[in-house]
Amino acid sequence: VGSRLIADLQGALGTNRVRSRPLELHLFGGDAGTERGEVLAAVFPKDGRQVAEVVGVAASHGVPVVTRGTATGVAGGAVPAEPAVVLVTTHLDGIEIDAGSRMAWVGAGVLNLDLTRKAAENGLYFVPDPSSRAASTVGGNVATDASGPHGLAEGGTASHVLAVEFVTASGEILTAGGAAPDATGLDVRGLLVGSEGTLGIVTRVLVRLVEEPPAVITVAAVFESLEQAAAAVASVIAAGVVPAVLEMMSGNLVRLIDRFVGGLRTGAGALLLAEAAGRPAQVAAQVDVIGEAAWQNGAAGVDRAVEEGDRERLWTARRSSFPSVAQMGAGFRDHDVVVPRRRLVEMVAEIGRIAEEHRLEAYTSIHAGDGNLHPKFVFDPEDTAAEAAVEAASTEIAVAALRLGGSVSGEHGIGMDKRDLMPLQFSAADLEALRRIKDAFDPNGLLNPGKVLPEAQT
């Protein structure tokens, strides 16, 4: 298969768009998580037609296609579960902004931050802002339904995608959704968002852009414990205020971040970052409510950042939580669960209890507003007992999230990493229905097989 497959791919795309040297294949075999897989060829199509050509060639050789943005995913989504052609989207890179309609057609391989910068030239921005925005692609954000701090008030990626152009397993180029205020028919767009490359290959998306707010203030409050910070979040929400952003970090994480990039007040047990955005009077009122909620729940200090530079320093620090922990050791696991907002205090306590039982230290960042929690663990990969403890703790954390009415993944996706947890959340009948949808889109199982859905129990 090998050399004929490469020759056919080169015939379809041109030699320069196909990579097959051992080092190149190795480079495209992993993502930001721990899984690795076997790559038969890495290809860089330039448009939807070339994507369709790749699907046709792969199908004729009976090999799967795994779509890859920039592989910042941590769940093994872009890692082949079996030998596959890896289709890299980074050359699908056009951006067409229609400022009047506040929409943009964006190539799947455009980096999130590049779209944000381009939109800013028109006083607009793209709401989904994962911490990986400088490195992750819009197509990857769509495929994982990524979220970020601003997902709280405005929703995750799904809320900002109006249409998806995608290539099917049989090589057709289809568009689901559109610019019209209400797309009729089945919501295929909705199915594609979050489908992790298992239903189709996203080539372009039509996204919604929103106007930059006239006033923004960031509040940074420090507490003795994460529980107190979570209680302050509950008080803010109970007061009927939904700030633009509500983020929390455990004190040990704050110390690591401060050592890595600086910019945070250390020495406390937890940090709450809240941002109010909108008209100046509304922002001032929200900041008062947030400050009051913080003091009432035992804050040891509350600071306000008004200048853009001061706010950006705080957010740069927040976005550095993953690398601050990852650089500590060779073995690293960034977990991702979600619970209803009102159960945050309990979930924080559960993470503390589970980590202690396994003698682990959890460095936890939390999108408090939407209930996503990311406990991070470091370990020595040579130490099999330590690795097993992290695995066991991660499963117990997922089970605890389910018990509190949450989900086994908040925003990173299921990929390979969490597919065996799916039966904890879904019944056999639910999973069978999901499998039938997958079969309808991809009857021969050629699009990112071995992901999301666990093996069928026969």
Ligand X SMILES: Cc1cc2nc3c(=O)[nH]c(=O)nc-3n(C[C@H](O)[C@H](O)[C@H](O)COP(=O)(O)OP(=O)(O)OC[C@H]3O[C@@H](n4cnc5c(N)ncnc54)[C@H](O)[C@@H]3O)c2cc1C
Residue ranges that bind ligand X, judged by CB under 6 A: 31-32, 66-74, 77-78, 89, 108, 130-132, 136-137, 139-141, 143-144, 146-148, 196-197, 201-202, 322-323, 411-413, 415, 448
Q: Minimum distance between the CB of residue 285 and ligand X, rounded to whole angstroms?
A: 28
**Which of residues 130 and 449 has its CB atom nearest to ligand X in the complex?**
130
Q: Which of 367, 312, 366 is nearest to 134 (CA)?
A: 312
**Which of residues 293 and 339 has its CB atom nearest to ligand X in the complex?**
339
Query: What is the helix (H) or strand (E) element at residue 428, kind and residue range?
Result: helix 428-441
C-alpha–C-alpha distance, residues 76 and 53, integer Å: 25
**Which of residues 177 and 291 has its CB atom nearest to ligand X in the complex?**
177
**Which of residues 137 and 225 has its CB atom nearest to ligand X in the complex?**
137
Q: Minimum distance between the CB of residue 321 and ligand X, rounded to whole angstroms?
A: 8
**Which of residues 133 and 358 has its CB atom nearest to ligand X in the complex?**
133
**Which of residues 156 and 243 has its CB atom nearest to ligand X in the complex?**
156
**Which of residues 157 and 297 has its CB atom nearest to ligand X in the complex?**
157
**Which of residues 333 and 358 has its CB atom nearest to ligand X in the complex?**
333
Q: Minimum distance between the CB of residue 142 and ligand X, rounded to whole angstroms?
A: 7
Q: Minimum distance between the CB of residue 388 and ligand X, rounded to whole angstroms?
A: 24
Q: Minimum distance between the CB of residue 447 and ligand X, rounded to whole angstroms?
A: 8
**Cα dist from 250 to 104, 135, 253, 381, whole Å:** 37, 25, 5, 24
Q: Minimum distance between the CB of residue 74 and ligand X, rounded to whole angstroms?
A: 6
Q: How far is CA 153 from the centre of its chain?
A: 17
Q: Which of 247, 255, 254, 251 is nearest to 290 (CA)?
A: 247
Report DSSP letters for 8-74, one per residue.
HHHHHH-GGGEE-SHHHHHHTTB-SSS-B--EEEEE--SSHHHHHHHHHHHHHHT--EEEESS---S
Q: Minimum distance between the CB of residue 166 and ligand X, rounded to whole angstroms?
A: 7
Instruction: Record the tokens describing residue 176, joined without a space.
Output: 């689901």
Q: Minimum distance between the CB of residue 205 and ligand X, rounded to whole angstroms?
A: 9
C-alpha–C-alpha distance, residues 391 and 328, integer Å: 18
C-alpha–C-alpha distance, residues 208 and 200, integer Å: 21
CB 205 within 8 A of CB 138: yes
C-alpha–C-alpha distance, residues 409 and 398, integer Å: 8
Q: How far is CA 229 from the centre of its chain?
A: 24
